[in-house]
Amino acid sequence: MAKATAGAAGISVMPNSVSRPEQVSARAATFLAMEQEPATSSELPTATRGALPRDDGKAEASASPIHADQAHGSTSPFEHGTDAQMIERRVRTVTPLVTPTPGPGASSNLRREVLYALRTGGPAAPDQVADRVGASRTGVLQQLRTLESAGLVTRSLSRHGVGRPRHVYDLTPAAQELFPANYGALAQSILTAIRTIGGEALIRDVFATRRRQLKTRIGGRLAERLPAGASLWEKVREVAGYQDETGYLGRATRDQDGTIWLSEHNCAISGVSRPFPIACEEELALFGEILGATVTRECHIASGGRSCTYRVEPVKK
């Protein structure tokens, strides 16, 4: 543990030019702003990144990947939580969505109520939604338009007999991301079923196959982004960037003596890694294979540590 702390006290430098696929930025921004008042597109929050707090109180350089889309002021569509601010926003804005359905008149979060009304009651006109949530038609319509601009709600014309057609709103498939999901439990139940069928040997085969798939994916990324003969430090930074994007809060640090550390401040598969520790064993093997280095785990989240921290050293000849 002391070694891991020493590693965290190093000079942090993170991957450069780590980009992500482009998606609908407004949708992600609305996703982050579920608890806020309607905002114009220029007011929608942009994820900012900064260094994580240090254990030793010393100053630290930027410890987060800087993405090209952020440099241009656009909002990242990913909700993996790659820094403390994004995590805080996610807890504040998304968690309330999985609480019990609000009753009529509970207008502190009208946007959430509108989403629930459309999910539980189906497509509806603004006045119908207003009746369901016990709010004014004007307020509901404002929320519907905001959600529509974010790609979370769609609008269509509906004709009923004589008279003017009316607009009917419904949720888009993208809105599903705002509602409760239980993928962790699903993964656990599938792995438990696999163990029941084939025992530990089959479980090992499953995770070994996953390691090979990840090796191919990350190895291809390194080959694409790094020059031939890239240094070990460059490789570690790129791997940290990949882990960061996939929810692990990946960080690469280097001590003044040159010691390289790869740290994960979040376990994105904690629901699996605890009952199936082989997941952690395979990750350790994966890093060694990808980096072509000796990788030693010095700290482990599943064992009670604050991070999974790996010391990375060149293979001794």
Give me the CATH number covering residue 119: 1.10.10.10
pLDDT given for residue 32 in this prediction: 40
Whether 162 and 256 share a structural domain: no
Whether 135 and 241 share a structural domain: no
With vertex at residue 249, the alpha carbon angle to CA 81 and CA 238, rounded to the nearest 5 degrees, is 120
229-239 pLDDT, tens digit each? 999 999 999 99
CA gap 100, 116 in Å, rounded: 10
33-72 pLDDT, tens digit each? 444 443 333 333 333 333 333 333 333 333 444 333 333 3
Domain C-terminal end among 126, 158, 178: 178
Whether 174 and 270 share a structural domain: no
pLDDT given for residue 48 in this prediction: 34
User: Between the CA of residue 18 and those of 66, 69, 308, what are the distances in Å?
Assistant: 7, 10, 22
What residues contact residue 248 under an 8 Å CB cut-off, 6+ apart?
264, 265, 266, 267, 268, 308
pLDDT given for residue 68 in this prediction: 36
One digit per residue, pLDDT tens: the chain, 317 residues?
A: 444 444 433 333 344 333 333 343 344 444 444 444 433 333 333 333 333 333 333 333 334 443 333 333 333 333 344 444 444 444 444 433 444 444 443 334 899 899 999 999 999 999 999 999 999 999 999 999 999 999 999 999 887 767 788 899 999 999 988 888 888 889 999 999 999 999 999 999 999 999 999 999 999 999 999 999 999 999 999 999 999 999 999 999 999 999 999 999 999 999 899 999 999 999 999 999 999 999 999 999 999 999 999 999 999 87
CATH number of the domain to which 211 belongs: 3.30.1380
Q: Name the nearest CA neighbour of 24 among 173, 246, 241.
A: 173
For the entire predicted model, the pTM comes to: 0.60
Question: Are 30 and 175 spatial neighbours (Cβ–Cβ below 8 Å)?
Answer: no
Domain count, the chain: 2
- Please give the biggest Cα pair distance in the chain: 86
Whether 199 and 166 share a structural domain: no
CA gap 274, 270 in Å, rounded: 6
pLDDT given for residue 158 in this prediction: 83
What residues contact residue 70 under an 8 Å CB cut-off, 6+ apart?
46, 47, 48, 49, 76
Q: Name the nearest CA neighbour of 168 among 150, 153, 189, 146.
A: 153
CA gap 262, 297 in Å, rounded: 9
Domain C-terminal end among 125, 153, 178: 178
pLDDT given for residue 21 in this prediction: 37
Whether 292 and 199 share a structural domain: yes
pLDDT given for residue 163 in this prediction: 72
pLDDT given for residue 72 in this prediction: 37
Range of the domain at 146: 97-178
Whether 232 and 143 share a structural domain: no
Q: φ and ψ at 60, to 5 degrees?
A: -135, 140
Residue in the block written with tokens 């790609």: 151
Domain C-terminal end among 178, 200, 223: 178
In a domain, 4, yes or no: no
Whether 192 and 150 share a structural domain: no
Whether 110 and 130 share a structural domain: yes
